[in-house]
């Protein structure tokens, strides 16, 4: 019989050869069984216990008792199903189940030597007469007609309830079919009635090799001298023996019991084959264990004893048997697999990499992610400039269009708390980074840091540069170190700090770590200590960060955009303050940048290219290039420079993630310089991208991308280095 999958009939109820001893009922009563309950259950699910198995019971409710003696709990199960494996649906002819491609289950008997209380075919108990042999032969005809079947599992009930002669008749017919490779007999007889295994039976069986036998044991106490002898006879006849075990609560749901059973089986030359999770059979719910129990049992065997003792733990169901294993694989990447052994130690095993995979990155960049922080609408209590740095949809769409036009697939990646997850899912080869970051004093460095962790190449400056350029005082310290001029300064961490007596008024008070003129208003320019303290305290409170106090220098102000590696200096922007009303100071305050400079303003506050003499221009460019290099910028940066009263260029600020608003009317200064150099918006984006790709030694597949661009109807040549034409700036000195 196939372990728990046998059909039983109530042919002879609890009739057992008496051998002069008392009956089964007497014995159960003697063991303090509740005979009322047993009799009640018997009427629904009949009882049959072999004399031999009955004698294995040591006490009431021990593992042998639980398997054989009816329990009142069988009646309380209204949850489970009559036929959980849906075998009836895979029965093309009576007594044959054809569920798998090359093997079938042939039911040759509806009887057993004992009715196991947990049997999968409990539904048939007492309702089915012994299967007529002619019907078995008809089922064998089905097998003969199905050439794909090469393996027959002979089961029931218990096939060994058939006489030797009947059994031989069945085996002979099966062996007669040329396409049958192996025959397997599933039986519980060696366990519940070992005397059935006789030399005569064994001599008959061995004439039908290759013949396998799957026997069914659930507890070490079932391995007795008698059952061992029966198994020995079978093994000596060259019949490979496999075991099947049902995981049963109160019987074997314990790692030590299971290991003991497996070790005893292997000593009897039985190879543990399957341990089944208990099926959802009506009347057996009290035997069910959590699946985790089975997994833990498997874990307690693997590695701790001979691998020969290791069965497969399976859940059987309408879809067939599914192996359930403890998880030994912790992670798989192309480079390696991380595994644990039975002692829970971690090991790594290197992957087999194809030659092209050995490179750090995928050389052919196809999918490009845009890491961004979309401008949000402000809530009531939000600071008015909270999202000044974030990008609007126009910018994001324009970047996307440029990349798609060049043949890339584009994925938008909002750099919020879900960034890591969307990044992992996106499968991008490269990230075009414009994300300003959402929290923290080094927020612009977060996306680069995450991308480096994931080993994904990206455009723009790296972690350290992004962090430093966002911090005005750290940035000025570095400039100072390299003798790059910057206005003298002092950092205030509280209002009690003494002002450095070397600093001269007027001064500007700014938040130490903001961009886009955030926190710099007309009032930030202070002429005395009282207003200085007031502004410092405002910055400390409203921007929750130290205040930078800087001497105000009074000369012309410029913005220099740099693009590429090493950078080309684009046409310089001069910031024109002439349009500002009298009461607004002449510097790049929030008001100057965002209020008095808007698309409707009659005066152009941005002069590009700036009108400057070649000598000054060369000076400014030199300072900008040095700043770019010393701060470790790559691909692009925007540097704000102001002349002092003597006309000497000083660096005011560096932005490694300059705004990229496409609309020229928005006066986004970096694009403005690029336009002045004759570039289109797409040129800007692709030049940034190509500069980055070159740094990583990456390229895109030009043939494919051009074809893709043509399909998209966007005939843009990808890979064009537009900055090549920038060596001759268009700015003309007067």
Ligand X SMILES: *Cc1c(COP(=O)(O)O)cnc(C)c1O
**Left if phi > 0, otherwise alpha if psi is -120 to 50, otherwise beta: which for 80?**
beta
**Site for ligand X (CB under 6 A): which residue of 8, 97, 526, 716?**
97
**Site for ligand X (CB under 6 A): which residue of 49, 68, 105, 406?**
105
C-alpha 95/C-alpha 103 separation (Å) is: 14
**Nearer Cβ to ligand SF4 (216/556):** 216
**Nearer Cβ to ligand X (214/521):** 214
- Position with the least CB separation from ligand SF4: 6
**Nearer Cβ to ligand X (274/419):** 274
Q: Report the partner that residue 99 touches, choosing among ligand SF4, ligand X, none (CB closer than 5 to 8 A by kind).
A: ligand X
3-state secondary structure of 431: strand
Segment 129 to 188, residues that bind ligand X, using CB under 6 A: 153
Token pair for 605 = 């506050």
Identify which range of 36-44, 115-123, 395-403, 407-415 contacts ligand SF4 by CB under 6 A. Answer: 115-123
- Rounded to a whole number of angstroms, the minimum distance from the CB of residue 188 to ligand SF4 is 4
- Rounded to a whole number of angstroms, the minimum distance from the CB of residue 361 to ligand SF4 is 58
- Cβ 2 vs Cβ 155: under 8 Å: yes
Q: Report the partner that residue 208 touches, choosing among ligand SF4, ligand X, none (CB closer than 5 to 8 A by kind).
A: none
Beta strand pairing call for 557-563 and 96-97: unpaired
C-alpha 441/C-alpha 14 separation (Å) is: 82
**Nearer Cβ to ligand SF4 (289/517):** 289
3-state secondary structure of 699: strand
Q: Cβ contacts of residue 165 below 8 Å, gap of 6+?
A: none
Q: Does 8 participate in binding ligand SF4 (rule CB under 6 A)?
A: yes
**Nearer Cβ to ligand SF4 (158/391):** 158
**Nearer Cβ to ligand SF4 (1/268):** 1
Q: Report the partner that residue 116 touches, choosing among ligand X, ligand SF4, none (CB closer than 5 to 8 A by kind).
A: ligand SF4
**Nearer Cβ to ligand SF4 (119/413):** 119
Q: What's the DSSP call for residue 385?
A: T
Q: Does 278 participate in binding ligand SF4 (rule CB under 6 A)?
A: no
**Site for ligand X (CB under 6 A): which residue of 55, 91, 100, 729?**
100
- Cβ 455 vs Cβ 681: under 8 Å: no
Q: Does 271 participate in binding ligand X (rule CB under 6 A)?
A: no
- Cβ 119 vs Cβ 156: under 8 Å: no
| Residue whose C-alpha is closest to residue 616's, from 672, 568, 560, 655 | 560
Segment 10 to 29, residues that bind ligand X, using CB under 6 A: none
C-alpha 367/C-alpha 689 separation (Å) is: 13
Token pair for 242 = 């496999």
Q: Does 241 participate in binding ligand X (rule CB under 6 A)?
A: no
C-alpha 592/C-alpha 525 separation (Å) is: 13
Q: What's the DSSP call for residue 302?
A: B
Q: What's the DSSP call for residue 508?
A: E
| Residue whose C-alpha is closest to residue 534's, from 364, 525, 360 | 525
Q: Cβ contacts of residue 186 below 8 Å, gap of 6+?
A: 1, 2, 3, 5, 6, 153, 154, 155, 156, 159, 213, 214, 216, 244
- Rounded to a whole number of angstroms, the minimum distance from the CB of residue 312 to ligand SF4 is 19
Q: Report the partner that residue 638 touches, choosing among ligand X, ligand SF4, none (CB closer than 5 to 8 A by kind).
A: none
Q: Report the partner that residue 249 touches, choosing among ligand X, ligand SF4, none (CB closer than 5 to 8 A by kind).
A: none
Residue 558: beta bridge partners? Answer: 574, 641
- What interhelical angle do 393-405 and 681-695 show, nearest 10? 70
- Rounded to a whole number of angstroms, the minimum distance from the CB of residue 333 to ligand SF4 is 45
C-alpha 536/C-alpha 61 separation (Å) is: 82
C-alpha 174/C-alpha 163 separation (Å) is: 17
Q: Report the partner that residue 288 touches, choosing among ligand SF4, ligand X, none (CB closer than 5 to 8 A by kind).
A: none
Identify which range of 98-106, 117-125, 596-604, 609-617 contacts ligand X by CB under 6 A. Answer: 98-106
Identify which range of 97-105, 157-165, 423-431, 660-668 contacts ligand X by CB under 6 A. Answer: 97-105
What are the helix and strand counts (H, E) for the chain? 22, 25
Q: How many residues does the chain have?
A: 734
* Owner of token pair 């329990």: 71
**Site for ligand SF4 (CB under 6 A): which residue of 96, 106, 116, 612?**
116
Q: Report the partner that residue 367 touches, choosing among ligand X, ligand SF4, none (CB closer than 5 to 8 A by kind).
A: none
Site residue total, ligand X (CB under 6 A): 7
- Cβ 287 vs Cβ 245: under 8 Å: no
Beta strand pairing call for 573-575 and 557-563: antiparallel
C-alpha 370/C-alpha 46 separation (Å) is: 70
**Nearer Cβ to ligand X (149/636):** 149
Cα dihedral 632, 634, 637, 639, rounded to 10, equals 30
- Rounded to a whole number of angstroms, the minimum distance from the CB of residue 184 to ligand X is 8
**Site for ligand X (CB under 6 A): which residue of 51, 206, 321, 630?**
321
**Site for ligand SF4 (CB under 6 A): which residue of 24, 68, 108, 119?**
119
- Cβ 340 vs Cβ 383: under 8 Å: no
C-alpha 594/C-alpha 661 separation (Å) is: 14
Q: Does 136 participate in binding ligand SF4 (rule CB under 6 A)?
A: no
**Nearer Cβ to ligand SF4 (171/191):** 191
| Residue whose C-alpha is closest to residue 668's, from 376, 389, 372, 375 | 389
Q: Report the partner that residue 1 touches, choosing among ligand SF4, ligand X, none (CB closer than 5 to 8 A by kind).
A: ligand SF4
**Nearer Cβ to ligand X (100/208):** 100
**Site for ligand SF4 (CB under 6 A): which residue of 1, 278, 553, 692?**
1
* Per-residue contact flags (x/-) with ligand SF4 for residues 178 to 207, judged by CB under 6 A: ----------x-------------------
**Site for ligand SF4 (CB under 6 A): which residue of 158, 514, 550, 653?**
158
- Cβ 11 vs Cβ 111: under 8 Å: yes
- What interhelical angle do 669-676 and 681-695 show, nearest 10? 100
Q: Does 103 participate in binding ligand X (rule CB under 6 A)?
A: yes
Q: Does 246 participate in binding ligand X (rule CB under 6 A)?
A: no
Kindly report whether the peptide bond that precedes residue 602 is cis, defined as omega within 30 degrees of 0. Answer: no
**Nearer Cβ to ligand X (100/594):** 100
Q: Does 112 participate in binding ligand SF4 (rule CB under 6 A)?
A: yes
10 Å Cβ neighbour count for 417? 9
**Nearer Cβ to ligand X (97/281):** 97
Segment 632 to 661, residues that bind ligand SF4, using CB under 6 A: none
Identify which range of 24-32, 94-102, 294-302, 631-639 contacts ligand X by CB under 6 A. Answer: 94-102
Site residue total, ligand SF4 (CB under 6 A): 12
Q: Report the partner that residue 105 touches, choosing among ligand SF4, ligand X, none (CB closer than 5 to 8 A by kind).
A: ligand X
**Nearer Cβ to ligand X (47/104):** 104
- Cβ 469 vs Cβ 495: under 8 Å: no
3-state secondary structure of 276: strand
Q: Report the partner that residue 8 touches, choosing among ligand SF4, ligand X, none (CB closer than 5 to 8 A by kind).
A: ligand SF4
Identify which range of 95-103, 297-305, 535-543, 549-557 contacts ligand X by CB under 6 A. Answer: 95-103
Token pair for 476 = 């000025």
Token pair for 339 = 């595994």
**Nearer Cβ to ligand X (107/606):** 107
- With residues binned 3-state (H G I as helix, E B as strand, rest as coil), the percentages for the chain, rounded to 5, are 35, 20, 45
Which positions touch ligand SF4 (CB under 6 A)?
1, 4, 6, 8, 112, 115-116, 119, 121, 157-158, 188
Which positions touch ligand X (CB under 6 A)?
97, 99-100, 103, 105, 153, 321
């Amino acid at each position: 019989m196939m372990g728990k999958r046998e059909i039983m009939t109530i042919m002879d109820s609890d009739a057992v050869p008496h051998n002069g001893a008392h009956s089964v009922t007497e014995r159960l009563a003697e063991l303090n069984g509740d005979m009322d309950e047993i009799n009640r259950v018997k009427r629904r699910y009949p009882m049959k216990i072999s004399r031999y198995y009955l004698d294995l019971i040591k006490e009431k409710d021990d593992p042998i008792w639980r398997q054989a003696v009816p329990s009142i709990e069988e009646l309380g199960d209204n949850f489970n199903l009559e036929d959980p494996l849906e075998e009836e649906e895979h029965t093309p002819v009576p007594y044959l189940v054809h569920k798998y491609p090359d093997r079938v289950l042939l039911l040759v008997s509806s009887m057993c030597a004992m009715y196991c209380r947990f049997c999968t075919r409990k539904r048939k108990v007492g309702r089915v007469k012994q299967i007529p042999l002619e019907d078995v032969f008809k089922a064998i005809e089905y097998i003969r007609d199905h050439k794909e079947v090469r393996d027959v599992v002979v089961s029931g009930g218990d096939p060994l309830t058939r006489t030797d002669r009947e059994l031989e008749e069945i085996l002979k017919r099966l062996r007669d079919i040329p396409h049958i490779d192996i025959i397997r007999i599933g039986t519980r007889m060696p366990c519940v009635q070992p005397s059935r295994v006789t030399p005569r039976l064994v001599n008959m069986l061995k004439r039908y090799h290759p013949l396998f036998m799957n026997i069914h044991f659930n507890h070490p106490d079932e391995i007795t001298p008698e059952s061992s002898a029966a198994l020995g006879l079978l093994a000596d006849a060259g019949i490979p023996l496999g075991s099947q075990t049902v995981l049963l609560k109160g019987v074997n749901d314990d790692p030590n019991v299971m290991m003991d059973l497996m070790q005893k089986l292997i000593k009897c030359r039985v190879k543990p084959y399957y341990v089944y999770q208990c099926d959802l059979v009506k009347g057996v719910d009290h035997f069910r264990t959590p699946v985790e129990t089975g997994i833990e049992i498997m874990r307690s065997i693997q590695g701790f004893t001979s691998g020969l003792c290791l069965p497969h733990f399976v859940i059987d169901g309408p879809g067939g048997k599914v192996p359930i294993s403890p998880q030994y694989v912790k992670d798989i990447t192309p480079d390696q697999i991380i595994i644990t052994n039975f002692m829970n130690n971690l090991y790594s095993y290197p992957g087999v990499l194809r030659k092209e995979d050995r490179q750090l990155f995928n050389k052919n960049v196809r999918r490009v992610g845009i890491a961004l922080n979309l401008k949000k609408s402000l809530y009531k209590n939000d600071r008015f400039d909270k999202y000044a740095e974030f990008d609007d949809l126009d910018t994001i769409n324009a970047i996307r269009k440029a990349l798609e036009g060049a043949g890339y697939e584009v994925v938008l990646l909002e750099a919020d708390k879900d960034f890591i997850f969307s990044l992992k899912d996106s499968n991008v080869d490269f990230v075009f980074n414009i994300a300003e970051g959402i929290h923290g004093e080094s927020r612009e460095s977060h996306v680069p840091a995450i991308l480096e962790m994931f080993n994904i190449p990206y455009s723009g400056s790296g972690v350290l540069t992004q962090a430093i350029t966002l911090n005005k005082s750290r940035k000025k310290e570095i400039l100072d170190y390299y003798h790059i001029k910057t206005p003298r300064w002092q950092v205030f961490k509280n209002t009690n700090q003494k002002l450095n007596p070397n600093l001269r008024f007027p001064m500007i008070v700014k938040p130490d770590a903001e961009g886009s003129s955030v926190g710099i208003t007309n009032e930030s320019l202070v002429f005395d200590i009282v207003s200085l303290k007031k502004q410092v305290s405002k910055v400390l409170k409203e921007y929750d960060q130290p205040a930078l106090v800087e001497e105000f220098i009074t000369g012309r102000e410029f913005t220099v955009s740099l693009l590429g590696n090493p950078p080309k200096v684009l046409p310089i922007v001069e910031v024109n303050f002439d349009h500002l009303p009298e009461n607004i100071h002449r510097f790049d305050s929030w008001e100057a940048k965002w209020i008095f400079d808007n698309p409707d303003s009659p005066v152009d506050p941005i002069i590009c290219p700036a009108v400057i003499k070649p000598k000054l221009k060369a000076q400014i460019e030199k300072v900008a290039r040095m700043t770019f290099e010393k701060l470790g910028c790559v691909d692009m940066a925007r540097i704000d420079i102001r002349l002092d009263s003597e006309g000497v260029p000083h660096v005011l600020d560096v932005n490694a993630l300059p705004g990229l608003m496409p609309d020229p009317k928005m006066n986004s200064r970096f694009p403005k310089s690029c336009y002045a150099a004759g570039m289109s918006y797409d040129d800007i984006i692709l030049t940034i991208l190509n500069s980055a790709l070159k740094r990583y030694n990456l390229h895109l597949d030009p043939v494919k991308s051009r074809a893709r661009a043509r399909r998209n109807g966007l005939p843009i040549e990808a890979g064009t280095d537009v900055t090549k034409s920038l060596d001759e700036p268009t700015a003309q000195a007067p």
